[in-house]
Structure 1
């Protein structure tokens, strides 16, 4: 009897690791900070993913199977992220998607390896997750360094020369800061200063007062939303009208609301086409489905979630065999070239970087991201 119990347990574990638990549905998981400091942008990206999954299910799903979108809150905590990823793996998800942040994503790597579980479109641009390529991680967005470089080149392009970099003193800030420095180097310029602050206690008022006194023309402000909001408000309170540029981790409506009147004119890098441009096929499709669902507009984070969901669906369609499992899903990604609607995503065995698209937006007087 004990032998049969052991065999059944082993069989159940094998099924879970191959992602074949769900009968009649294809399970896709998302582990991210639905509460905590990144909750606003996480919820928006999940809304965008669900918009596309719901549309696919309404058309009959994939080979008659609906997509079941399972989410768990990691509270932006690496240990919680690893536990949540393990939980979803045991529930037979075929893949995870849209993790948020470098720390939580890195904490999931052992779980991905152990369960042979692909992670699609993590919302992190960390070089540590790209070089060398992580075998189970498939990026969609460009790196932090690429977008920081784009922000700097935009500022110089509008005539700004006196630039300082203010970055959170952690792996994210250090990574993105290298991109900002490279952007200046390419243009034969140097930052007037490169300042760092603590993630947990930014205390940016003294820094911003010093920047205002130095008559700095622009600040590249790299950090989590709450710190950037504190920094911008302190800069304006100090009387400075310097341009402020930040990265796409702050491209959410919640970030704009938190800034209030100080949001206008803030430059925010973007990693997907303009969410209101119907000239782009991906955006046109997303806007059409959003309106059909009773939503008037999209945010950048919703568009990222929509694009990630479309990548998942296109991969499911390509997965070989009658039964779709994790192995088939991963094999369908390797060496693939997938058109998401004006955006070509290509993966090879040695490179999982996805897109290199970068752009900038400016928060307009209406609180929307203008391009």
Structure 2
């Protein structure tokens, strides 16, 4: 759910950018093409807010070698064809040094199929979700700053084996993100001795999964692993719990605590486990999260949620800025070449692109549980 204040913040930011000259001398343009409306609007906005807070902090400190960052956005409404159109448009119209926070496996798959990155030669930093085929081998202009789906599924299934939950049901989105995740779960499960006793597909964008309740119960699973987009994952928790099914639920990181509690209520959401690919964004117990809090307090909207999606956006922004500092503001192939060699220690969170084949910076994964307060407990 996007707050009223956040909507005003976004609208004001857009007006401010429109007022500035698109060809302002000395600025470095960075762009985000993502869903700001539709089922994943909350994630797109959270990424944007985290990135903008850091870019504004950099600008307040004088920019990059004296050049200010102009951060622009376009709403693709989570439609792959719009993502393709808008990335091409922005690349030609605004000449960005980089894109950040590209969202949606079907959207990124469309960009690769249409060879958009090959044509525009502009890197994109921060890609969600972490579908394995988009990471390994991936694309030389797509850079990943958080752990991917394979790392998350391996962590969850290892944990389930440890606690004795070796019969699981998998519910997956019927898009590349979901089908690839299912394949990884089957592969990893076989290696670990975790049996997939049933699997069910959820259509793209679905926010009603009541039809899964009976086939789920018939599986006899000890645990459900859901490989779903945020809105579908929240709907799954709501519909399954309202039907009286108390089987433990484990999700990949894309489902948020706020989304689940908004859809299902705190009581039904309590106990749902969610893989995490960032440190706890709400608790400033590391240098990275303290820096993140400082940027958000100074430059973010007052009611912004300090979520993993916001922190991921912030991480993408920090990565781009570090690359631009090393290239003196040059974008495109020069920036991509620097990023492939980039190693960063960000106060307890490491990015090591050379170790990840040049485009994968992190494989860190943790597991958190939604508590009785509705917050994630790590």
Please state which band the TM-score falls in when normalised by the shorter chain. Answer: 0.7 to 0.9
TM-score, with structure 2 as normaliser: 0.85
- Cα distance in 2 for partners of 1:343, 1:74 equals 31
1:84 CA displacement: 0.8
Cross-structure match for 1:332? 338
1:35 CA displacement: 0.7
Q: In the alignment, is residue 192 of structure 1 matched against residue 197 of structure 2? A: yes
Q: Which runs of 4+ in 1 moved over 6 A?
A: none
Cross-structure match for 1:309? 317
Q: Is the 8 A contact 2:166 2:193 kept in 1?
A: no
* Residue among 151, 156, 166 paired with 2:156: 151
* Residue among 103, 106, 109 paired with 1:106: 109
1:1-371 correspondence runs (5 A): 22-90=24-92, 91-109=94-112, 110-199=115-204, 204-212=209-217, 215-251=220-256, 253-261=258-266, 262-293=268-299, 294=302, 298-320=306-328, 324-348=330-354, 350-371=357-378
- Cα distance in 1 for partners of 2:278, 2:256 equals 11
Alpha carbons of structure 1 residues 178 and 228: separation in structure 2 relative to 1, 3 Å = same
Alpha carbons of structure 1 residues 189 and 350: separation in structure 2 relative to 1, 3 Å = closer
| Larger Rg over CA atoms | 1
1:101 CA displacement: 0.7
What stretches of structure 1 of length at least 5 have no aligned partner?
1-19
Q: Is the 8 A contact 2:131 2:180 kept in 1?
A: yes
- Cα distance in 2 for partners of 1:203, 1:95 equals 37
What stretches of structure 2 of length at least 5 have no aligned partner?
1-21
Provide the secondary structure at the position in 1 that maps to 2:285: coil
Alpha-carbon deviations, 1:274-294, whole Å to 9, x = none?
Answer: 113433211111112223445
Aligned CA RMSD, in angstroms, stands at: 2.3
